[in-house]
Amino acid sequence: MKKVLSIAGSDSGGGAGIQADLKTFAAFRVYGTTAITSVTAQNTVGVEGVYDLPPDFVALQIDAVMKDIGADAVKTGMLSNVEIVEAVCSKLKEYDVQNLVVDPVMVAKSGDTLLREDAINVIKEKLFPLAKVITPNLDEAKVLTGLKEINDEEGMKEAAKLLKEMGPQYVLVKGGHLTDDAVDLLYDGTKFYRYPAERIITRNTHGTGCTYSAAIAACLALGLSVPEAVERSKKFITTAIKYGLQIGKGHGPTHHFAELYGDAE
Please give the positions annotated as active site: 174, 205, 207-210
Instruction: Give the number of other CB atoms < 10 A from CB of residue 215.
Output: 27
Exposed/middle/buried for residue 63 (C-beta within 10 Å: 0-12, 13-18, 19+): middle
- Give the H or E element holding residue 35: strand 31-42
The string over 85-112, giving b where at least 16 C-beta atoms fall within 10 Å of a residue's C-beta and e elsewhere, is bbbbbebbeebebebbbbbbbbbbbeee
Contacts of 214 (CB under 8 A, 6+ apart): 4, 6, 20, 21, 24, 25, 75, 101
Please compute Rg for the chain using Cα positions: 17
CA 61 to centroid of chain Cα atoms: 19
| Sign of the four-CA dihedral 45, 48, 52, 53 | negative
> What gap in Å lies between CA 3 and CA 31, rounded to an integer?
5
